[in-house]
Amino acid sequence: MRQNYLFTSESVSEGHPDKVADQISDAIVDLFLSKDPEARIACETLTTTQLVVLAGEIRCKGVYENGAWAPGALEEIESTVRQTVRAIGYEQDGFHWQNFTFYNHLHGQSAHIAQGVDASGNKDEGAGDQGIMFGYACDETPDLMPATLYYSHKILEQMAADRHSGAAPFLEPDAKSQVTLRFENGKPVAATAIVVSTQHAPGYDEGAEEAELHAYVKKVVADVIPAALISDETVYHINPTGSFEIGGPDGDAGLTGRKIIVDTYGGASPHGGGAFSGKDPTKVDRSAAYITRYLAKNIVAAGLATHCTIQLAYAIGVSKPLSLYVNTHGTGTVPDSKLEEAIGKIEALGNLTPRGIRTHLGLNKPIYRPTAAYGHFGRKADGDFFPWERTDLVDALKAAV
């Protein structure tokens, strides 16, 4: 591993058009799972000026069966979409939760996909698609996440909280952040550049109002990033293009699944390519990415490594993974092959089959909308939410090693 370098990660707010799409898609996942824990959902969302479009494939008892919608289902879907946008805070001329045009093009799941995925006879439930998934953890932050992404998320989370509470009434929902840190001997030692672009109320692009916005952003950064990393040499770029009044889906179209690096590790780890939002947990794009994070985090939490990358691979309709790969980047206290063997010994993981993953982490629940902004990883495990962030596998890993 390199020891001395600059590294950068970015985040986007809940009001970014792609994140609006992700949150709508995951709100639909939650709606269907609340009706049927075994529902199958693949929901894509398009957002643009005063328009939201849903498309994808579903199967859900009590909502969509035998090619027909249940009474009231279409109205409940539209209400869910509008309330999601309302909660984000969009009440603008170009995008308003009450006024946008809505189209629902969800339809039934392919029977050919269903026959490969569903359990039947002696066949266990298969993976919902082929693919490769990566999980990662490191000791740069208390939540065992890359520091550049961790701070990028936290800046926007604080700004959103202040917007919702009224503490920063000049903020609008759309925003982006970017943090560059200098690493020495593998540890972050200085923030060299901070970029924050935030949608704002009219008039906050000049004069005293602009100065107020800039001072506010710098205060948020100071509250989030440790003081030891900030100095007079830290360069700030706050709304570097000037005005940012037109934002969200009115300023740029949004699509589900376009912020996969923001969703995962900010570029510090490989990504298998598949997005998470809009997919039920039989899709290993989602569930296997969660279990690999869970495994990597527990390995680091157990003191078996300071950096850990894990890969799983699946074939559609096949239950057991094709491969398991562990790489501790030279930081492991035992050989990586021993960690692979140890993971295979832990019966609670259910051989890392889709059913085993869903059972161990409790994924067949409406827990996904909160994942769709500010990252799927590095969050606080809270009851049913973010179970892949628990470190309850530490003792089992140590025993297996």
Q: Which residues in 139-171 are b (16+ Cβ under 10 Å) and which e?
A: bbbeebbbbbbbbbbbbbbbbbebbeeeebebb
Q: Which of 57, 91, 124, 205 is flagged as catalytic?
A: 57
176 an active-site residue? Answer: yes
Q: Which residues in 219-234 are b (16+ Cβ under 10 Å) and which e?
A: ebbeebbeeebeeeeb
Q: Which of 18, 129, 250, 280 is flagged as catalytic?
A: 18
Q: Which of 252, 329, 338, 379 is flagged as catalytic?
A: 252
Q: Which of 279, 307, 355, 369 is flagged as catalytic?
A: 279
Q: Are 9 and 178 in contact (CB under 8 A)?
A: yes
139 an active-site residue? Answer: no
175 annotated ligand binder: yes
Q: Which of 44, 125, 157, 389 is flagged as catalytic?
A: 44
129 annotated ligand binder: no
- Which residue's structure tokens are 């709508």? 24
Q: Which of 176, 297, 355, 360 is flagged as catalytic?
A: 176
18 an active-site residue? Answer: yes
360 annotated ligand binder: no
Q: Which of 153, 154, 258, 286 is flagged as catalytic?
A: 258
Triad 15, 237, 151: Cα angle to 5°: 60
- DSSP per-residue letters across 136-165: EEESSSTTSS-HHHHHHHHHHHHHHHHHHH
76 an active-site residue? Answer: no
18 annotated ligand binder: yes
57 annotated ligand binder: yes
> 294 in helix, strand or coil?
helix
Q: Which of 10, 14, 16, 183 is flagged as catalytic?
A: 16
Residue of 14, 53, 37 whose CA lies nearest to 280:
37
Give the separation between CA 186 and CA 146, rounded to whole angstroms. 12
162 annotated ligand binder: no
40 annotated ligand binder: no
Q: Which of 283, 293, 297, 307 is flagged as catalytic?
A: 283
Q: Are 344 and 338 in contact (CB under 8 A)?
A: no
16 an active-site residue? Answer: yes
Q: Which of 95, 134, 183, 244 is flagged as catalytic?
A: 244
* Stated length of the chain: 401
Q: Are 173 and 147 in contact (CB under 8 A)?
A: no
- Which residue's structure tokens are 């298969």? 126
Give the separation between CA 195 and CA 198, rounded to whole angstroms. 10
345 an active-site residue? Answer: no
- Rg of the chain (C-alpha set): 22
258 annotated ligand binder: yes
Q: Which of 7, 14, 19, 268 is flagged as catalytic?
A: 19
Q: Which of 22, 129, 285, 336 is flagged as catalytic?
A: 285
365 an active-site residue? Answer: no
285 an active-site residue? Answer: yes
283 annotated ligand binder: yes
Q: Are 38 and 363 in contact (CB under 8 A)?
A: no
Give the separation between CA 263 and CA 11, rounded to whole angstroms. 8
Q: Which of 70, 193, 253, 315 is flagged as catalytic?
A: 253
Give the separation between CA 141 and CA 146, rounded to whole angstroms. 7
275 annotated ligand binder: yes
Give the separation between CA 335 and CA 401, rounded to whole angstroms. 10
187 an active-site residue? Answer: no
244 an active-site residue? Answer: yes
Dump strand ranges (E) for 15-72: 40-48, 51-59, 64-65, 68-69
Annotated binding-site residue numbers for Mg(2+): 18
Residue ranges of the binding site for ATP: 16, 174-176, 252, 258-259, 275, 279
Q: Which residues are annotated as a binding site for L-methionine?
A: 57, 109, 252, 283
Positions at the binding site? 16, 18, 44, 57, 109, 174-176, 252, 258-259, 275, 279, 283
Catalytic positions: 16, 18-19, 44, 57, 176, 244, 252-253, 258-259, 279, 283, 285
